[in-house]
Amino acid sequence: MALNPNYDEIGKAFTQQYYALFDNPATRGQLQGLYNAEQSLMSFEGQQMQGAEKIMGKIASLTFQKIQHLITAVDCQPMFDGGILINVLGQLKTDDDPPQSFMQNFVLRPGGDSFYIQHDVFRLVLHNVAA
């Protein structure tokens, strides 16, 4: 399979769609359609889960009432198997808490006539350095 020449356009459009769905409680459940039932993996703050159902369970367990992702940068690279690697850097605003920096990486895998999230790695950018 060749490199996808539209990797940047696809990756950036995916990123907009993903966070628009995530940030709206009425549409958040639709994220499940972006993950594969068995072949999607997520690492959330070091906790690993596999499959769309477990990933959505993790997302549903988060305790915020309101959330907003403010995107600083989206970097995309094509993969030699037709997939797309996406790195997102931004700030996360939950409820009345101060914004926190985050990074999230996705690997989109071709599946049929579209893509699904094969890998999703999320981390808050916290620097707990011993003094």
Q: What is the pLDDT of residues 43-61, one digit of tens each?
A: 999 999 999 999 999 999 9
Query: Which residues are registered as beta bridge partners of 109?
Result: 116
Cβ atoms of 98 and 68 within 8 Å: the answer is: no
Distances (CA, A) of 112 to 43, 51, 98, 115: 25, 18, 41, 8
- What gap in Å lies between CA 98 and CA 93, rounded to an integer? 7
**Average pLDDT over every residue of 66-86:** 97
Residue 101: pLDDT over 70: yes
113 vs 27, higher pLDDT = 27
Beta-sheet strands, E only, within the chain: 41-44, 47-50, 67-78, 84-94, 100-111, 114-124
Residue 110: pLDDT over 90: yes
Which is it for the CA torsion 99, 130, 103, 39, positive or negative? negative
Q: What is the pLDDT of residues 7-45, one digit of tens each?
A: 999 999 999 999 999 999 999 999 999 999 999 999 999
pTM (predicted TM-score)? 0.93
State both tokens at 108.
Answer: 């989109």
